[in-house]
């Protein structure tokens, strides 16, 4: 069975389960919730809950703090599909396995994805627990998930599925504006940052962080970038939101630990959940109806 057929099979399975819950309301937005950031899924009343283990071909998360299930239903009144937990390259998954879930979201007919993550803050002035909208990224993961023959059938949206495609606006400006306005309404401001992706799992050295800062990065993390690349390949709009869970290596006296990252996530996940509950219906309103 080809990779594309596996994606199609997983999507068909999910579509059925989601239809059982949402009926004719077709979700147009997907959300991926990162480390310790799962609370937004709890804001869905009467959700359809589908553990990754039940979905054909779906990779299983092995990291503590990533619960590994899909939660579908209405968030702020808008139908959406939430991935509570993701898989990472550092877990030993291949680039195509890491991005399999995004391919499935694309096959479901989603138009936009909100990719959230825990990140180390590089820019001076970032505070722990701060949310930052990703305006651009730098891929230092050492791979591109589109390496290999192009699969044009991944053109789930118009003008997509191309071998070479533009990444000038990888992160949608209009979705970022909506996110900023929604944050203001929630009483906080959402700055913009540049997310630099590393493979992990070790945290960075202080010298690496100094190097990344001079490259223009303001955030560092171990996810999101492969997902953004495949989402753009399929023609989906992307909104990236990072939660600064720690100051990056060498920028504070504290040593880094997963525990710290996870706990900082837990402290901000409710603010992120409120932001998403306000934002998702506004995003749904600007996405075009299916042709
Ligand atoms: N570095 C890399 N990934 C991370 C960090 C960090 O400091 N914090 C959360 N994810």
Which residue range(s) make up the domain with 95? 3-287
Helix H, strand E, coil C: the string for 32-64 is EECCCCHHHHHHCEEEEEEEHHHCCCCCCCCCC
Domain harbouring 76, CATH code: 3.40.50.1580
- Is residue 233 annotated as a catalytic residue, yes or no? no
* Rounded (5°) CA angle 103-175-195: 70
Identify the residue whose C-alpha is closest to ligand 1 atom 9. 119
d(CA 232, CA 161): 9
Q: Which atom of ligand 1 is nearest to the CA of 198?
A: 2
Which tokens hold the place of 265?
């996530």
* Residue pLDDT, tens place only, 126-147: 999 999 999 999 999 999 999 9
CB of residue 118 inside a 6 A radius of ligand 1: yes
Work out how many domains the chain is built from and give that number.
Answer: 1
Q: How far is the CA of 179 from the centre of ligand 1 (A)?
A: 23
Start-to-end CA span in the chain (Å): 30
In degrees and rounded to multiples of 5, residue 245 shows phi and psi of -95, -15
CB of residue 36 inside a 6 A radius of ligand 1: no
- Are the CB atoms for 241 and 132 separated by under 8 Å? yes
d(CA 163, CA 180): 33
- Are the CB atoms for 171 and 238 separated by under 8 Å? yes
Q: Which atom of ligand 1 is nearest to the CA of 221?
A: 3
Q: What is the pTM assigned to this prediction?
A: 0.96
Handedness of CA 131, 282, 155, 61 (dihedral sign): positive
In degrees and rounded to multiples of 5, residue 156 shows phi and psi of -80, -15
The pLDDT, as a whole number, for residue 257 is 87
The pLDDT, as a whole number, for residue 63 is 65
The pLDDT, as a whole number, for residue 38 is 87
- Are the CB atoms for 161 and 152 separated by under 8 Å? yes
**Which ranges of the chain would DSSP assign to H, the alpha helix?**
3-22, 95-98, 100-107, 173-185, 206-215, 225-233, 258-286
In the chain, DSSP finds a helix count (H) and a strand count (E) of 7, 9
Q: Which atom of ligand 1 is nearest to the CA of 256?
A: 7
Enumerate residue ranges in the chain where pLDDT < 50: 291
The pLDDT, as a whole number, for residue 256 is 87
Distance of CA 189 to the CA centre of its chain: 20
């Amino acid at each position: 069975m080809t990779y594309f057929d596996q994606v199609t099979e997983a999507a068909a399975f999910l579509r059925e389960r989601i239809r059982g819950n949402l009926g004719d309301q077709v979700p147009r937005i997907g959300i991926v919730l990162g480390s310790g950031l799962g609370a937004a899924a709890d804001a869905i009343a009467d959700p359809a809950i589908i553990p990754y283990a039940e979905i054909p071909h779906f990779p299983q998360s092995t990291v503590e703090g990533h619960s590994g299930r899909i939660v579908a239903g209405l968030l702020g009144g808008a139908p959406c599909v939430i991935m509570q937990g993701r898989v990472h390259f550092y877990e030993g998954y291949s680039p195509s396995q890491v991005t399999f879930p995004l391919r499935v979201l694309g096959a479901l007919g989603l138009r936009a994805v909100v990719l959230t993550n825990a990140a180390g803050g590089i820019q001076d002035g970032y505070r722990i627990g701060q949310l930052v909208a990703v305006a651009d990224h730098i891929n230092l993961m050492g791979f591109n998930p589109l390496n290999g023959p192009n699969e044009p059938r991944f053109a789930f949206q118009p003008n997509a599925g191309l071998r070479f495609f533009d990444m000038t606006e990888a992160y949608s400006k209009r979705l970022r504006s909506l996110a900023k306005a929604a944050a203001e309404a929630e009483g906080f401001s959402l700055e913009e940052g540049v997310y630099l992706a590393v493979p992990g799992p070790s945290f960075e050295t202080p010298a690496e962080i100094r190097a990344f800062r001079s490259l223009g990065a303001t955030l560092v993390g171990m996810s999101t970038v492969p997902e953004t690349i495949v989402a753009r390949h399929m023609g989906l709009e992307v909104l990236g939101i990072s939660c600064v869970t720690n100051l990056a290596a060498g920028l504070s006296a504290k040593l880094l630990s997963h525990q710290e990252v996870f706990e900082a996530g837990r402290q901000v996940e409710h603010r992120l959940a409120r932001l998403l509950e306000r934002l998702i219906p506004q995003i749904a309103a600007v996405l075009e109806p299916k042709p």
